[in-house]
Chains A and B, each alone.
Chain A
Amino acid sequence: MTSGAPVIEVRELTKSFGPNIAVNRLSIQVEAGEIYGFLGPNGSGKTTFIRMLCGLLRPDSGAGTCLGYDLFREGDLIKLQIGYLAQRFSLYEDLSVRENLHFMARIYRLPRVKDLVAETMERLGLTRFAEQLAGNLSGGWKQRLALAACLLHRPRLLLLDEPTAGVDPKARRDFWDEIYRLAAEGVTSLISTHYMDEAERCHRLAYLAYGKLLASGTAAEVVAASGLFTWTITGENVHLLAAELKQKPGVELVAPFGNTLHVSGYDPEILRAAVADLDQTRYSCAQSEVDLEDVFISLMNNNRGDH
């Protein structure tokens, strides 16, 4: 499961819509059995990239393979072995859960369709909704149905575009348990998300902004590579300090976290000085671990100008 060629390997993949470059010379590599997180602000090109991987959009330039097949020439072969969960629910709302799954199973020409659908529904807890129209399911259950639909044919690679958007915490945990179970079976997943806790669950992740890859690696690597340092400030009405702190030299980011403030910057000494300026009797300050979210936000801020 860990050995062998990468499941996804793309180089300099580019896609524009008119003058707007949605994906800009993106190169990534995803190994077999990996859970790869895909993060980035709205409009950063995550969906566009995933669509190019599953043949829904034609890249303008670049090269790449997916499951060992060429992205440009062997799309039909790729489609047979990937499971794609679109950001927008894209099964038939006027078909029941069972009918949707039957349809998908037949489209992949799977044997024993009836049993397979029954097993899959059982596995994902969909059995009690079997006869309900997909359009009448709640958002979370729709996502689960969509996941079921892309697992039917036992794909080797899952491309999941914001699979947990609008899903409650318990269902999200179930979802991740399922992804881990699949990863243990050797299934690779590429998952786009906006949730930091999910980002931290991924084996590796990539951060995109304005179509460009700004960081990639494990969460720890991304944090380390950012060069960011963070202090946590606690005290009464600590949030009132935010405006003042933002003005100080060396302070890159100020973000409230509950009753604390996270103050981040690139230069540890200047940052220490800025924090030391505060009234130490009223506030307590301590250097803390750098938060992934702070890393992403500073990455985005620093790259805003040059896209």
Chain B
Amino acid sequence: MSHSGFFSFLRFRAVIAKEFVQMRRDRVTFAMMIGIPIVQMVVFGYAINSDPKHLPAAILAADHSVFSRSIVAAMQNSGYFRIVSTVATEAEANFLIEEGEVQFVLTIPEQFGRCLVRGEQPTLLLTADATDPAATSNALAAFRLVAEAALVRDLQGPLAYLRRGPPSLQVILHPSYNPEAITQYNIVPGLMGVVLTMTLVIITGLAITRERERGTMENLLATPVKPLEVMLGKIIPYILVGYVQMGVIMLAGRFLFEVPMIGNLWLLLAVSLLFIAANLGVGLTFSTLARNQLQAVQMAFFFFLPSILLSGFMFPFRGMPIWAQWIGETLPLTHYLRIVRGILLKGNGLAQLMPNLWPIAIFLLISLTVGLTRYRRTLD
């Protein structure tokens, strides 16, 4: 008879093999694990691809020169803006934007035409309600070109010299409510973290509660298998699932939505391991706390909601109140979002990722410790 030992690789392997067979048999869950990323991509991808036109805008004009008029006309013609009102005061303009009546306010300063002609580079201010950056960013980006193109036509004859020098006017874009001005490209990398959090926490949350609910835990506990072997054995198969999900999202992001991926993908895969493991640790901890599978799912959502709301995925992180930022800093998703964006969009290397790696590592350590100590070795 072989001795018991603290950790047996053979027993550990037996648990992994068993989990894989069960995963293969459970078609619904398996389909969900692959299906969720695809569905989410399509849902969010719609928002990404959409290039909303005819957004309501108001004009606050203190100048009525021909130049002002042609800029307003060009805005309208660009298709991005729909001028719905002309206001006389800043208060009125603010009111409209706060109420959501308009998404943009174009402020044309006094003497705009005169300053332009004198070559003084007058300033146009375009204020945007950028709560939904996917909606406004294209219009914002287009405005500068629209305004300059409009003036090119007007600055003819004796004024033509103004076209050759420095830009004839300045445009200040002011996206309010969303100081980080997240662009649509941020969503795909973010989605990767969100999908991993959602599916992995739920699925591993179910892993142990299922054994309890079906009564198989009774058999398992009467064998020499150790808690660590069970927990790690259950985690490993789902790490692979996590990578499959990442693969689906990255392929879709690359080929459907043409998200730039300038960083090192191998680095991304490597550091993602930490994030995936952290989520699995949470799931396992939940499954040691939950009495049944329903509770495990509820707990998973309890974790998922703050993750999605406070991580900077839904709302810009710096725009949140301090207490919310504090909570956000403890969540692995917050740091993972920064990591993914850093790698994919900015080409960050390992050194730059460090500040976001160690918080995830600490989280993983804590969740595994809690999970292991909570793992009940008896039925009572």
Instruction: Please report A residues at the B interface, Cβ cutoff 8 Å.
Output: 17, 51, 54-58, 76-77, 79-82, 84, 86, 88-95, 99, 102-104, 106-109, 133, 149, 153
Contact = CB atoms under 8 A, between A and B. Distances in A.
B10 interface: yes
A84 B221 CA distance: 10
A289 to B, nearest CB: 39
Nearest to A86: B218
B53 interface: no
Interface stretch (B13-21, B79-87, B236-244): B13-21
A133 B10 CA distance: 24
Query: How big is the B interface, by class?
Result: 20 to 34
Nearest to B2: A109
B326 to A, nearest CB: 40
Given A88-B215, A91-B219, A107-B224, A57 B380 contact: yes
Contacts of B379: 51, 56-57
Contacts of A108: 2, 223-224
A269 to B, nearest CB: 50
A90 B216 contact: yes
A107 B21 contact: no
B89 interface: no
A79 B224 contact: yes
Contact of B218 (A77, A88, A92, A102): A88
A90 B219 contact: yes
B217 to A, nearest CB: 8
A89 B215 contact: yes
Given A51-B379, A80-B4, A92 B11 contact: no
B13 A106 contact: yes
Interface in B10-41: 10-11, 13-15, 17-18, 21-22, 25-26
Contacts of A103: 14, 17-18
B285 to A, nearest CB: 22
Given A86-B215, A90-B216, A109-B2, A56 B221 contact: yes
Contact of B222 (A55, A77, A94): A55
B182 interface: no
Nearest to B8: A109
Given A57-B380, A58-B378, A95-B22, A76 B4 contact: yes
Given A51-B218, A94-B21, 16 more contacts: A55-B377, A56-B221, A56-B222, A79-B224, A82-B222, A86-B219, A90-B216, A90-B217, A90-B218, A91-B219, A93-B214, A95-B18, A103-B14, A106-B11, A107-B225, A109-B8
B43 interface: no
Contacts of A84: 219, 222
A107 B223 contact: yes
Contacts of A89: 215
Contacts of A55: 221-222, 377-378
B1 interface: yes
Contact of A107 (B1, B14, B214, B215): B14
Given A99-B21, A107-B223, A108-B223, A58 B218 contact: no
Nearest to B214: A93
A195 B379 CA distance: 27
B215 A56 contact: no
B10 A109 contact: yes
B18 A92 contact: yes
Interface in B333-380: 377-380
Contact of A80 (B1, B17, B219): B1
